[in-house]
Structure 1
Amino acid sequence: MGKKILEVNDLHISFHTFAGEVQAIRGVDFDLYEGETLAIVGESGSGKSVTTKSIMKLLPKHNSEIKSGKIIFQDKDIVQATEKQMQKIRGKDISMIFQDPMTSLNPTMTIGKQIMEPLIKHGNFKKSEARKQTLKLLDLVGIPKPKIRIKQYPHQFSGGMRQRVVIAIALACAPKILIADEPTTALDVTIQGQILELMKDLQQQIETSIIFITHDLGVVANVADRVAVMYGGKIVEVGTVDEIFYNPQHPYTWGLISSMPSLDGMDDELYVIPGSPPDLLKPPKGDAFAPRNRYAMQIDLEKEPPMFKVSDTHYAATWLLHPNAPKVEPPQNIQDRMQKFSKGAY
Structure 2
Amino acid sequence: MEKILQVKDLNISFHTFGGEVKAIRGVSFDLYKGETLAIVGESGSGKSVTTKSIMRLLPPNNSEIKSGQILFGDVDIAKASERKMQSIRGKEISMIFQDPMTSLNPTMTIGKQIMEPLLKHQKMHKSEAKKRAIELLKLVGIPNAEIRVKQYPHQFSGGMRQRVVIAIALACNPKILIADEPTTALDVTIQAQILELMKKLQSKIDTSIIFITHDLGVVANVADRVAVMYGGKIVEIGTVDEIFYNPKHPYTWGLISSMPSLDVKDEELYAIPGTPPDLLNPPKGDAFAPRNPYALKIDLEQEPPMFKVSDTHYAATWLLHPDAPKVEPPEAVKKRMYKFKGNVRPIPAEEGK
Q: CA deviation at 1:270?
A: 1.1
Give the aligned partner of residue 145 of structure 2: 146
Q: CA deviation at 1:65?
A: 0.3
Look up the equivalent residue of 2:339 and give its one-letter code.
K
Give the aligned partner of residue 195 of structure 1: 194
Give the aligned partner of residue 182 of structure 2: 183
Aligned to 2:5, the other structure's residue is in SS state: strand
Kept in 1, the 8 Å contact 2:181–2:212? The answer is yes
**After superposition, where does 1:25-104 map in structure 2 within 5 Å?**
25-104=24-103
Aligned to 1:174, the other structure's residue is in SS state: coil
Kept in 1, the 8 Å contact 2:220–2:341? The answer is no
Q: Relative to 1, partners in 2 of residues 1:234 and 1:155: Cα closer, same or farther, differing over 3 Å?
A: same
Aligned to 1:8, the other structure's residue is in SS state: strand
The alignment's C-alpha RMSD in Å is 0.9
Q: CA deviation at 1:333?
A: 1.3
CA distance in 2, matches of 1:343, 1:268: 24
CA distance in 2, matches of 1:291, 1:324: 21
CA distance in 1, matches of 2:340, 2:308: 24
CA distance in 1, matches of 2:223, 2:340: 15
Q: CA deviation at 1:263?
A: 3.7
Look up the equivalent residue of 2:67 and give its one-letter code.
S
Q: CA deviation at 1:265?
A: 6.3
CA distance in 2, matches of 1:12, 1:45: 15
CA distance in 2, matches of 1:52, 1:267: 39
Q: CA deviation at 1:342?
A: 5.9
Q: Deviations over 1:144-173 (max 9, x none)?
A: 000110000000000000000000000000
Give the aligned partner of residue 351 of structure 2: none
TM-score, structure 1 as length reference:
0.98
Q: CA deviation at 1:266?
A: 2.7
Look up the equivalent residue of 1:44 and give its one-letter code.
S
Give the aligned partner of residue 205 of structure 1: 204
**After superposition, where does 1:185-334 map in structure 2 within 5 Å?**
185-264=184-263, 266=265, 268-334=267-333
Look up the equivalent residue of 2:88 and give its one-letter code.
I
Give the aligned partner of residue 162 of structure 1: 161
Look up the equivalent residue of 2:233 and give its one-letter code.
K
Look up the equivalent residue of 2:103 and give its one-letter code.
S
Q: CA deviation at 1:267?
A: 5.2
CA distance in 2, matches of 1:114, 1:342: 37
2:106 is the counterpart of 1:107:
yes
Runs of 4+ residues deviating >3 angstroms: none
Count of paired positions: 345
Give the aligned partner of residue 348 of structure 2: none
TM-score, structure 2 as length reference:
0.97
Look up the equivalent residue of 2:101 and give its one-letter code.
M
Identity rate, percent: 80
CA distance in 1, matches of 2:322, 2:188: 43
Kept in 1, the 8 Å contact 2:264–2:335? The answer is no
Kept in 1, the 8 Å contact 2:91–2:172? The answer is yes
Q: CA deviation at 1:22?
A: 0.3
CA distance in 2, matches of 1:214, 1:173: 24
CA distance in 1, matches of 2:343, 2:260: 13
CA distance in 2, matches of 1:265, 1:175: 41
Kept in 2, the 8 Å contact 1:286–1:299? The answer is yes
List runs of 5+ in structure 2 lacking aligned partners.
Answer: 346-353
Which is worse superposed, 24-33 or 254-263? 254-263
Kept in 1, the 8 Å contact 2:285–2:298? The answer is yes
Q: Deviations over 1:98-152 (max 9, x none)?
A: 0000010000000000000000100111001101111100000000000110000
Q: Relative to 1, partners in 2 of residues 1:23 and 1:235: Cα closer, same or farther, differing over 3 Å?
A: same
Kept in 1, the 8 Å contact 2:177–2:208? The answer is yes
Look up the equivalent residue of 1:232 and give its one-letter code.
G
Q: Relative to 1, partners in 2 of residues 1:344 and 1:278: Cα closer, same or farther, differing over 3 Å?
A: same
Q: Deviations over 1:152-204 (max 9, x none)?
A: 00000000000000000000000000000000000000000000000000000
Look up the equivalent residue of 2:135 and give its one-letter code.
K
